Amino acid sequence: MKLVILAGGLGSRLSEETHLKPKPLVEIGGMPMIWHIMKYYSHFGFREFIICLGYKGYLIKDYFHRYHLMRNDLTIDIGKRIEFLNDEAEDWSVTLVDTGNSTQTGGRLKRVKSFLGEEDFCLTYGDGLGDVDINALLDFHNSHNKIVTVTAVHPPARFGALGLTGTKVDEFVEKPTSGSGWINGGFFVMSPQVLDLIVDDHSIFEREPMEQLSQQQQLHAFVHNDFWQPMDTLRDKNHLEELWATNKAPWKIWNE
């Protein structure tokens, strides 16, 4: 199964870092946020990643282009060859697609349609971490046979709210004035059918497509009560850094 990562936003609320780099390259424990997300999913067997680029996307391309070089010792025979002395690299296939600086989330997803194939795929944001049980999420998605599963987490107040009856999503409201209830935490599983609901680059996935899915009873929520943390502000980043530095990062479930 493939994982699509939305990594094109401006990250304006983290401008202390994002004036120089895209938010997914902001480092936690010396490694970019996007690396943490990919390491987490790879623990569950994911090897194919599609990254939707936008703001300063060339820096994300450069990071993965140089990844093997940076992670290994080497001997350089100038002008002839490079010999890697070890092989510390993940067996990942990473597809990097420029989806436009001003394209909205739905538009970014629509732009990678040709890379998705006919099977269900996962989607998440490039600025959020959690200890979601991906195997249980996939089992839940397969059990209800609907188009989309969203992972429901508890708010901070500024995120989109889910109205639930059991696991069925009755209402989806993006960024409500009240922060009670459940919110969209990313960690989606979805059928390629969802792409038919996305009109163009201006389509915000969390608005019309998600609202239509909830009205059509094609959207279910995987309820996650444990750790989930976005990296929206410098305070969020510092909190994640502290968790990593003190060996209390709930998302670090892989072996070194």
Report pLDDT for 90. 87
List the domain boundaries for the chain. Answer: 2-245
Residue whose structure tokens are 């996939």: 138
User: How many CA atoms lie within 13 Å of 215's alpha carbon, on the beta-carbon side?
Assistant: 8
Report pLDDT for 216. 94
Report pLDDT for 157. 52
Is 161 buried (19+), middle (13-18) or exposed (0-12) by CB count in 10 A? Answer: buried
- SS3 of residue 254 by DSSP: coil
Distance CA 155, CA 181 (A): 7
Report pLDDT for 179. 52
CA angle 127, 67, 16 (to 5 degrees): 40
Distance CA 181, CA 189 (A): 21
Nearest CA-CA partner of 196 in 116, 138, 122: 116
Strands 2-7 and 121-125: parallel
Q: What is the pLDDT along the chain (256 residues), one digit of tens a residue?
A: 999 999 999 888 888 888 899 999 999 999 999 999 999 999 999 999 999 999 999 999 999 998 888 888 888 888 788 888 887 778 899 999 999 999 999 999 999 999 999 999 999 999 999 999 999 999 999 999 999 999 999 875 556 677 888 888 888 876 555 556 789 999 999 999 999 999 999 999 999 999 999 999 999 999 999 999 999 999 899 999 999 999 999 999 998 6
Distance CA 23, CA 12 (A): 9
Record the pTM: 0.89
Is 122 buried (19+), middle (13-18) or exposed (0-12) by CB count in 10 A? Answer: buried
- SS3 of residue 219 by DSSP: strand
Q: Which two tokens stand for residue 113?
A: 């349609």
CATH code of 2-245, in short, is 3.90.550.10
Strands 182-184 and 148-153: antiparallel
How many CB atoms lie under 10 A from the CB of residue 201? 15
